[in-house]
Amino acid sequence: MTQDKTHKGRASGLPNSPFLVAPEQSNKDAKEEGLADALRDLQEINDEADEEGMPPPSELAIANADRLIRAIYDILPCQYLVELLPEGVIAITVPGGFRCSVMLLCESEGGILCSVNMNGKHRRKRYSYANQLPDRFLREALSELGRG
């Protein structure tokens, strides 16, 4: 049996190398790594507050951010930017192409602001409670971002 027949899916003539990975697997690993990175950044948010001399986010803001990161990952798995803003607000940014992004601001009181930028067109929606998300507005924005 030849090497090509023993390794299904490999192109004919490629050497047997542990560094050759199917592009689909590589993308999947990178996306899963994005979720892990975002959750790790969230876990370190109180340390960031201490280092920057900013007020720490509330436990409610952290819990809301954790739930939202997981929920949006199910819709659009990619790398997210999680950072602390003044007044203990946690920003979750889902980057897209040029001039495209979705940002969720998790406020310490529990409210969420969803800000969408698509090619210079801005729209936003405010939520009193994080359990209202993801709703149609956010799902459509993430879907549009994913197509971009």
Domain ranges of the chain: 24-147
- Check if the beta carbon of residue 74 is closer than 8 Å to that of residue 133: no
Q: What is the pLDDT of residue 98?
A: 86
103: Cα separation from own chain's centroid = 10
User: What order do you get walking across the sheet with 100-106 strand by strand?
Assistant: 81-85, 89-95, 100-106, 112-118, 121-127
Tokens 């490629």 — which residue? Answer: 14
Mean pLDDT (the chain) is 84
Low-confidence ranges of the chain (pLDDT < 70): 1-31
121: Cα separation from own chain's centroid = 21
Tokens matching residue 8? 């299904």
Q: Could you report the per-residue pLDDT of 7-40, keeping only the tens digit for each?
A: 333 343 434 434 444 445 445 565 578 899 999 9
